Amino acid sequence: MKALIIDDSRAMRMLLKGTLRGLGIEAVEGGNGREGLETLHANGIVDFVMVDWHMPEMDGREFVEVVRKDAKYAAMPIIMVTSETEMDKITSALEAGANEYIMKPFTKESVIQKLQILGLVKEG
């Protein structure tokens, strides 16, 4: 299984990558939405994407909108990982095409729970 992690914070990418590695999931990464798109195109369809909202060049919501316009990525799960906690922001991300939402700061358990909800990892 392969994931794409997009966040302008290298530390956050490393944290998420470590969590996924512990679950046996390989991860590729991008430092902003534009880099994320380039990485996605270079790697083909990944099993899921974890994307931050606030980034330079192309933010996470823009990334989701662009990806959802491409039919080949229609079924690819996207998880927004962000410090945005306002309900209208969460709704906006989901309306743009994100499948789930993880609020920072998060725990390893909360990441695993979202991956289970999406059927990407087994429970227990």
Two structure tokens written together for 82: 């962000």
**Residue 82 above 90 pLDDT?**
no
Q: Domain 2-117 class?
A: alpha beta
> Residue 68 and residue 89: Cα distance in Å, rounded?
18
Which backbone phi and psi does 103 adopt, to 5 degrees? -95, 135
Domain regions of the chain by residue span: 2-117
Share of the chain above pLDDT 90, in %: 85
Contact 49, 76 (CB under 8 A): yes
The pLDDT assigned to 111 comes to: 95
pLDDT in tens, 27-72: 999 999 999 999 999 988 899 999 999 999 999 999 999 999 999 9
